[in-house]
């Protein structure tokens, strides 16, 4: 089994408890991170009618709910939203929550979607689980309309310079695996998650990879003691 298959199978196993684990582990702050990502993307895209948003690594559909809610709050007519994920277990949970949404089983690097068809592609706390990351960015570029946006929320690697950085590190590497393990009965998955950030890229490297795919970063911001980073890039 390759690395990507192992990751997918791990998410299949923790799907049932994933939502509650997420809320507990982020102390509910991930809601505000997601809110800010949607609001900022709509502000930068600046259109009242949006034909299609594609949420990649959609998991249990969390971000899809935010896109729909924030579009409504902003008076935006969002015609269609699609969830894409390689984990059937995660999408089964999403389908129960969002029966009206179309979900497609696929990885980020090979999406069965038309060229130049999406206004916005989002991936929230999922890009670190994509093994073929550069190929995924090329694929986002193919599927996006000219001027369309990629919206990435992720835990990115930072230089650990202050006491706060070390406290964050302690939480991610010691407390998170124990708590996540208790909730999901799968401690390995929650040991993998912080490790995947440590192996993961800096914001600078991510921006470089986006540019290589013809996606120009137009907005980056850190939230909550630099735990979460929002990167928005526009297709040139």
Is 60 flagged in the annotation as binding?
yes
For residues 187 and 14, is the Cβ–Cβ distance under 8 A?
no
The residue assigned the tokens 């006491």 is 163
Is 124 flagged in the annotation as binding?
yes
**Between 27 and 61, the higher pLDDT residue:** 61
Is 198 flagged in the annotation as binding?
no
Helices (H), 46-186: 62-73, 88-97, 133-143, 163-170, 176-184
**Most confident among 29-33, 186-190, 216-220 (mean pLDDT):** 216-220
Q: What is the pLDDT of residue 10?
A: 72
pLDDT at 198 over 70: no
Q: What is the pLDDT of residue 144?
A: 98
Q: Which of 103, 93, 45, 98 lies closest to 68, judged by CA?
A: 98
Number of other CB atoms surrounding residue 177 within 10 Å: 20
What is the mean pLDDT of the segment spanning 95-104? 97
Q: How far is CA 14 from CA 10, 22, 88, 187, in A?
A: 7, 11, 12, 10
For residues 117 and 50, is the Cβ–Cβ distance under 8 A?
no
CA distance 51 to 46: 13
**Assigned CATH topology for domain 27-158+201-235:** Rossmann fold (3.40.50)
Q: What is the pLDDT of residue 227?
A: 78
pLDDT tens digits for range 120-169: 999 998 888 888 999 999 999 999 999 999 999 987 766 556 666 666 66
As a whole-number percent, the residues of the chain with pLDDT over 90 amount to 58
Check residue 131 and report its DSSP letter: S
For residues 158 and 165, is the Cβ–Cβ distance under 8 A?
yes
pLDDT tens digits for range 72-90: 999 999 999 999 999 899 8
Domain residue spans in the chain? 27-158+201-235
Q: What is the pLDDT of residue 135?
A: 97
pLDDT at 55 over 70: yes
The CA radius of gyration of the chain, in Å to the nearest whole number, is 17
């Amino acid at each position: 089994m390759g690395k990507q298959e192992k990751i997918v199978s791990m998410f299949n196993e923790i799907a049932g408890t994933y939502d509650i684990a997420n809320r507990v582990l982020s102390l509910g702050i991930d809601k505000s991170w997601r809110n800010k990502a949607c609001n900022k993307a709509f502000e930068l895209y600046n259109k009242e009618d949006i034909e299609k948003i594609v949420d990649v690594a959609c998991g249990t559909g969390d971000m899809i709910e935010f896109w729909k809610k924030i579009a409504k709050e902003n008076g935006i007519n969002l015609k269609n939203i699609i969830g894409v994920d390689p984990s059937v277990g995660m999408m089964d949970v999403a389908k129960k929550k969002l029966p009206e949404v179309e979900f497609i089983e696929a990885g980020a690097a090979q999406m069965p979607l038309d060229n130049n068809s999406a206004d916005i592609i989002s991936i929230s706390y999922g890009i670190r689980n994509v093994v073929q990351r550069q190929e995924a960015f090329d694929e986002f570029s193919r599927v996006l309309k000219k001027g369309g946006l990629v919206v990435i929320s992720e835990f990115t690697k930072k230089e650990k310079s202050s006491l706060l950085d070390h406290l964050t590190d302690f939480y991610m590497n010691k407390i998170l695996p124990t708590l996540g393990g208790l909730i999901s009965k799968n401690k390995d998955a929650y040991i993998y998650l912080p490790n995947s950030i440590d192996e993961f890229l800096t914001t600078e490297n991510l921006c470089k990879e986006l540019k290589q795919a013809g996606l120009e970063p137009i907005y980056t911001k850190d939230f909550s003691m630099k735990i979460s980073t929002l990167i928005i890039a526009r297709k040139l």
